[in-house]
Chain A
C-alpha cells in the first residue's frame, strides 16, 4: 500500500512535469499515457497479467518491469536534454568571455606603433 501510494505520487508528479516542460505534443502524449497507465496498473495489478499474456510475457510483474524500463529510458532522455541545454549555456558563456578578453595580434600593434613613429617624425 505504501509503495503503491508512493509510485502513484511519483507518476502523477512526472505526468504534471511532462505537461509543463515537454514541448513536443507527441512525446508529451506518449509520456502522459504511460504515466496514467502505470498508475492504473498499480491499483489494478491483475490487469497487467492479462496484458502481459497478450504481449507474450508470462507475468504481470514482468510487464511492470518492462514498463518501468521504458520510463527510466524516458527519464534519461529528459536528463540528457537538460544536460545538453546546460552545456550549450556554458559554451555560450565561455565564448562570450573568450571574445571579450581577446588579445589582438601584437604584430598589428607593432605596425601601428611604426606608423605612429613615422607620423611623429
Chain B
C-alpha cells in the first residue's frame, strides 16, 4: 500500500455547541499529524475557545447557518491554506480518526475524487432500529432520484481531493448538503469509492442531532432548494 503524504491533508469539522466533546475529537484527530480546521457555527457555548485551545485552526460564523455552510467555509479555508485532500469529520465523536489515513490511501489507490464513508460496509455501535430504517429508506430514495448506488447516505465522513472541492460547493446550508453532494457525484459522473467506517452512536450524539424526524426536514430542504433555485 502506498504511503500517504499527509502534510497537505486537512480535516474540516463543523461544530455547533460542541464544547463537551470538541477538545477530545480534535486531540484524537491531531494525533494523526494532520491539520484541523474547526468552523464554529455561532455556538452559544465555549466551542470556539476549546477548539482553539486544542490546537485547531478556528473560524467562527457570526450567525448560525447550518452544517453544510460551515463545512463549505472550512473547505474554502483549507483550500486557501494549500490543502490537497480534505476530510469532513463530525464533531460529536461518532467517527474514528484511525480511519482517516486508510481512507485517504484507498482514495489514492483507486484514483477517485471522493471517498464516502459507509457505516453499512463497516461497523456501527448502538444504532437504533428507527435510525437504521430511515437510512435504508434514504438509500433507496437516493438510488431512485439520484441514480447512484450506495450502501450508505448521509454519512459525514468523507475524503475529497482538491480538484473535487474546487468544482463542488455546498449550496444547501443545512442538513440536505449530504444529498447535494451525492446528486453532484451522480450528475457529473465523479469517480467515487465507498470505504467502510465505524460509527459509534453515543447518548450525546443522538441527543445532539440524530433524530429520525430530520429525514423529513432534509426532504423539505431539498424540495425548497429546487423550487427556489
Binding site for B on A (CB under 8 A): 77, 80-81, 83-84, 87-88, 90-91, 94-95, 97-99, 101-107
What residues of chain B lie closer than 8 Å to A105, measured between beta carbons? 35-36, 55-57
Contact A91 B65 (CB under 8 A): yes
In the complex, A106 Cα to B53 Cα: how many Å? 7
Q: Mark B4-32, 1 if CB is under 8 A from A, else 0.
A: 00000000000000000000000000100
Chain A nearest CB, measured from B105 CB (Å): 24
A101-B229 contact given A80-B224, A95-B73, A106-B53, CB 8 Å threshold: no
Q: Which of B36, B59, B69 contacts A99 (CB 8 A)?
A: B59
Chain A nearest CB, measured from B226 CB (Å): 11
Q: Is B76 an interface residue (CB 8 A)?
A: yes
Top 9 closest pairs, chain A to chain B, by CB: A107-B55, A84-B228, A80-B228, A98-B59, A95-B73, A102-B59, A105-B57, A103-B58, A81-B228
Q: Is B184 an interface residue (CB 8 A)?
A: no
What residues of chain B lie closer than 8 Å to A103, measured between beta carbons? 52, 57-59
Interface size of B in residues (CB-CB distance below 8 Å): 29
B interface: dominant SS: mixed
Q: Which of A81, A88, A98, A104 contacts B60 (CB 8 A)?
A: A98
In the complex, A6 Cα to B192 Cα: how many Å? 58
In the complex, A104 Cα to B55 Cα: how many Å? 9
Q: What are some 5 contacts across the A-B interface (CB < 8 A)? A: A84-B224, A95-B61, A98-B59, A99-B76, A105-B57
In the complex, A105 Cα to B60 Cα: how many Å? 14
In the complex, A80 Cα to B62 Cα: how many Å? 24
Contact B171 A95 (CB under 8 A): no
A94-B72 contact given A88-B171, A106-B52, CB 8 Å threshold: no
In the complex, A106 Cα to B58 Cα: how many Å? 10
Smallest Cβ-Cβ distance to A82: which chain B residue: B228
Contact A98 B62 (CB under 8 A): yes
In the complex, A101 Cα to B227 Cα: how many Å? 34
Chain A nearest CB, measured from B147 CB (Å): 25
Chain B nearest CB, measured from A90 CB (Å): 7
Contact A94 B63 (CB under 8 A): yes
